[in-house]
Amino acid sequence: MTYIGTPTSRIDGHAKVTGAAKYAGEFNIKGLAYGAVVASTIAKGRITRIDTSDALRVEGVLDILTHENRPPMARADGAYKDDVAPEEGAPFRPLYDDKIKFNGQPIALVLAEEWEIARFAASLLRIEYKKSDFVTDLHAQRDKAFVVEKPEKTRGTADKAYAASAVRHEAEYFIPTEHHNPMELYASTVMWDGGGKLTVYDKTQGVQNVQRYLCGIFNMKPDDVRVISPFVGGAFGSGLRPQYQVVLAVLAARALQRSVRLVLTRQQMYGLCNRPATIERVALGATADGTLDAVIHEAIAMTSQYEDFSRNDTGWSGLLYKSPNAKYVHRLARLDLPTPCDMRAPGAATGVYGLECAMDELAVALKLDPLELRLRCYSDRDQHEDIPYTSKELRECYRQGAAAFGWDKRNPQPRLMRDGSELVGWGVATGVWEALQMESAVRIVLTANGHAEIASAFSDIGTGTYTIVAQMTADLLGLPLDNITVKLGDSTLPQAPVEGGSWTAASVSHAIAKTAGELRKELLRVAKTMPGSQLAAAKADGVALIDGKIVDKKDTRRSVSIADAMRHGRLDRIERESTNTFDNGNSHARNTHSAIFAEVRVDEELGVIRVTRVVNAVAAGRILNSKTAHSQIMGGVVWGIGMALHEETQVDHALGRVMNANIAEYHVPVNADVHDIKVIFVDEPDEIINPLGIKGVGEIGIVGVAAAIANAVFHATGKRVRDLPITLDKLMK
Ligand code: MOS
């Protein structure tokens, strides 16, 4: 293959950096009206009165929608269930009734001729409430948490084995609520196409999910709602479920019979989607020689009062390391906050943080190198099901990562490596994620001039999907990359799931391979009818499309030009669409893995921590584009630095309200926090998972990073901080 595997620059890069790429809040049409959201200032209760009179007197205000006067929307909870909604519970229904479920809940939408007018008028609403008691602190609710059934199977007798273990470690680790802060705000521009038909430009990871959702809520036919999301300015899970602004924008367009734009403010972004605050209790029992006897992992995570959101936090623990006994418990505690949502490697980012810090503490107790402990506990089989992996090159991740980092020069004693006034610490952790693959469809149109257009409803959430789709299509059709046009992010295109779970690369690639195979078959059929055809005896799987020709793979001198074949068959274009499915059977486990090595430097007097070096060695099957894949992992490492040292949504539990709802006070890593990051992809051939051996790299990059950094901080300082983020006050305490 010419393009697959090569470090190819984004084909949409030019459009993005020049501003030609348009985002949901940037599409224009004449007569656009603008919305501004008014949000609840109490955490729980009822709205008793909304006085809109002052706001309505502002010149340019068109209407103000509240639960009292809004157009009709579905009553049944089920109508609000999108593809990614939790199974248990009733989704939030914006502007539905007078009930307040969380602080920051939208309670009115001001519509005006200009955005500034809408926003000013929104400040003039007078709202009266009847307040109820509420709770927003996970620690206060932990005893009321209820157990969620999970597929991870307990094995052996973990409690008994733990009690009898020679060396034991047990601790609680805490990950606070974190909020999504993609550069692009939640935004929807709804074009009123007349007669009730709508074109909805939305910031989303799944255009068809949003389409189905809107049809359910507004009782519209699929043909009446087209959802488009050509570019996404970062999503990371925040755009998996439709957000409330798209409902409000559609509600407004239907009320005004006019096109409407609604963009949330950065502050309003904190009124929804978050990584749930989670307590991870991990207990590890080991023999004196450093093999595990027992793994016990219990998680207590927050959810809302109205939905049960939970992910796999605990199951990774008994999966990753060999241990005859393992037990998991996952609990949810209800808080008066919005339902949490997926955030990059949901469950693993938090659960593996607990596990990998606990492994480090166990290594200290065993007086064993933490990398050596992981090697002694290495498992070649999926411990839950006792089945082999399709591939697992984690050992090679450890080896190459350690070599690149220089791990063998580590002094095992904490506080002994220093550089001037700074204590230097080195930490290691493992990462693991699933290699999922989903049914999806693509359409390819090949034209006689040697161009191809490929289309699928997948979104490119910034991960590089446009580029890998173009690479794959170019290689499979034997065309130059520049001759490929990629269409994504439109609900009218062939069926695709939401872009998430790191499944897009594998899923779309195989849909392309299948569809390209059908095109190839058609080209061969025509080529065979040519007089004196060199391919008269060839079979469909015996030819490939290379350099504009149909070529006999066994004897490459035998070929027919694609252009000649199409001309002969009087074909201007060949169009094929097909849906690819996967064998997701239970014979093998499918996972990606990583080994992360981190160096921190801690100012001994001030407690200031800098992450000066990170090596992340990843095993994720075939890497389609080493440049965009590298960016994915690097981004995951940067986010891991934020998780370890910066990110924390602070809720005032007396008000039930987020206090740092802005990116000045909600800290994320900036350039000054990011130093040397080295990404390694180890070779991981995989002939079992799928024909092309693809696993996906969207999420693995963050898993384990915060643990490697926390472990490095311990190694530097001798102080173990288990509550994230590790801020200097905790270190100095
Ligand atoms: Mo990812 S958290 O599935 O967008």
Q: Does 636 contact ligand 1 (Cβ within 6 A)? A: no
Confidence of residue 42 (pLDDT cuts 50, 70, 90): very high
Closest CA to 64 of 29, 108, 27, 104: 108
Q: Does 433 contact ligand 1 (Cβ within 6 A)? A: no
- How many A from CA of 527 to the centre of ligand 1? 44
Cα 665 from chain centroid?
24
Confidence (pLDDT) at 524? 97
Q: To which residue do tokens 């696993």 refer?
A: 695
- How many A from CA of 568 to the centre of ligand 1? 47
Q: Does 343 contact ligand 1 (Cβ within 6 A)? A: yes
Pocket probe for ligand 1: among 313, 437, 699, 703, the residue whose CB has the most ligand atoms within 8 Å is 699
The pTM (predicted TM-score) of the whole model is: 0.97
- How many A from CA of 669 to the centre of ligand 1? 20
Separation of alpha carbons 722 and 724, rounded Å: 6
Q: What is the pLDDT of residues 337-347, one digit of tens each?
A: 999 999 999 99
Separation of alpha carbons 357 and 338, rounded Å: 29
Confidence of residue 733 (pLDDT cuts 50, 70, 90): confident
Q: What is the pLDDT of residues 669-683, one digit of tens each?
A: 999 999 999 999 999
The closest-lying atom of ligand 1 relative to the alpha carbon of residue 345 is: 2
Separation of alpha carbons 264 and 243, rounded Å: 10
Q: Does 240 contact ligand 1 (Cβ within 6 A)? A: yes
Confidence (pLDDT) at 675? 98
The closest-lying atom of ligand 1 relative to the alpha carbon of residue 342 is: 2
The token pair that represents 567 in the structure block: 């001309």
Distances (CA, A) of 117 to 33, 106, 107: 11, 18, 18
- How many A from CA of 82 to the centre of ligand 1? 15
- How many A from CA of 435 to the centre of ligand 1? 13
What does R_g of the chain's alpha carbons equal in angstroms? Answer: 27
Q: To which residue do tokens 């809302």 refer?
A: 304
Three-state secondary-structure class, residue 530: coil
Query: CA dihedral in degrees (542, 1, 462, 338; nearest 10)?
Result: 50
Q: What is the pLDDT of residues 685-695, one digit of tens each?
A: 999 999 999 99
Confidence (pLDDT) at 151? 85
Catalytic annotation, residues: 699
Q: Does 241 contact ligand 1 (Cβ within 6 A)? A: no
Q: Does 434 contact ligand 1 (Cβ within 6 A)? A: no
Q: Does 462 contact ligand 1 (Cβ within 6 A)? A: no
Half-sphere exposure of 394 (CA within 13 A, CB side): 28
- How many A from CA of 345 to the centre of ligand 1? 6
Separation of alpha carbons 576 and 443, rounded Å: 6
Of all residues in the chain, the percent with pLDDT exceeding 70 is 100
- Measured by CA distance, the residue closest to atom 4 of ligand 1 is 237
Q: Is the pLDDT of residue 136 over 90?
A: yes
Confidence of residue 153 (pLDDT cuts 50, 70, 90): confident
Closest CA to 373 of 384, 389, 361, 388: 361
- Give me the residues paired with residue 51 across strands: 126
Pocket probe for ligand 1: among 179, 342, 503, 643, the residue whose CB has the most ligand atoms within 8 Å is 342
- How many A from CA of 266 to the centre of ligand 1? 20
Q: Does 236 contact ligand 1 (Cβ within 6 A)? A: yes
Pocket probe for ligand 1: among 313, 341, 344, the residue whose CB has the most ligand atoms within 8 Å is 344
Q: Which residue has the higher pLDDT, 187 or 151?
A: 187
Confidence (pLDDT) at 706? 98
Q: What is the pLDDT of residues 614-630, one digit of tens each?
A: 999 999 999 999 999 99
Q: To which residue do tokens 């058609």 refer?
A: 522
Q: Does 344 contact ligand 1 (Cβ within 6 A)? A: yes
Q: Does 275 contact ligand 1 (Cβ within 6 A)? A: no
Pairing of strands 260-263, 573-580: unpaired
Q: Is the pLDDT of residue 446 over 90?
A: yes
Q: Does 342 contact ligand 1 (Cβ within 6 A)? A: yes
- How many A from CA of 590 to the centre of ligand 1? 17
Q: Is the pLDDT of residue 152 over 90?
A: no
Distances (CA, A) of 606 to 212, 603, 612, 712, 727: 54, 5, 17, 17, 11
Separation of alpha carbons 67 and 127, rounded Å: 13
- How many A from CA of 541 to the centre of ligand 1? 36
The closest-lying atom of ligand 1 relative to the alpha carbon of residue 500 is: 3
The token pair that represents 171 in the structure block: 């601790």
Q: Does 496 contact ligand 1 (Cβ within 6 A)? A: no
Confidence (pLDDT) at 1? 78
For residue 69, give the DSSP letter.
T
The token pair that represents 629 in the structure block: 């894949």
The closest-lying atom of ligand 1 relative to the alpha carbon of residue 205 is: 4
Cα end-to-end distance, the chain, whole Å: 57
Q: What is the pLDDT of residues 200-221, one digit of tens each?
A: 999 999 999 999 999 999 999 9
Q: Is the pLDDT of residue 273 over 90?
A: no
The closest-lying atom of ligand 1 relative to the alpha carbon of residue 346 is: 2
Q: What is the pLDDT of residues 575-621, one digit of tens each?
A: 999 999 998 899 999 999 999 999 999 999 999 999 999 999 999 99
Pairing of strands 651-652, 657-658: antiparallel
Pairing of strands 225-228, 198-202: parallel
The closest-lying atom of ligand 1 relative to the alpha carbon of residue 344 is: 2
The closest-lying atom of ligand 1 relative to the alpha carbon of residue 240 is: 4
The answer to whether the CB of 243 falls within 8 A of the CB of 91 is no
- How many A from CA of 238 to the centre of ligand 1? 8
Q: How many CB atoms lie within 10 A of CB 51?
A: 12
Q: Does 500 contact ligand 1 (Cβ within 6 A)? A: yes
Q: Does 436 contact ligand 1 (Cβ within 6 A)? A: no
The closest-lying atom of ligand 1 relative to the alpha carbon of residue 499 is: 4
Q: Does 347 contact ligand 1 (Cβ within 6 A)? A: no
- Name the burial class of residue 517, with classes exposed (0-12), middle (13-18) and buried (19+) by CB atoms within 10 angstroms of its CB: middle
- How many A from CA of 499 to the centre of ligand 1? 7
Closest CA to 600 of 431, 436, 433, 726: 726
| H or E segment to which residue 623 belongs | none
Whole-number average pLDDT of the chain? 97
Q: What is the pLDDT of residues 289-317, one digit of tens each?
A: 999 999 999 999 999 999 999 999 999 99
Q: Is the pLDDT of residue 272 over 90?
A: no
Q: To which residue do tokens 């949000």 refer?
A: 39
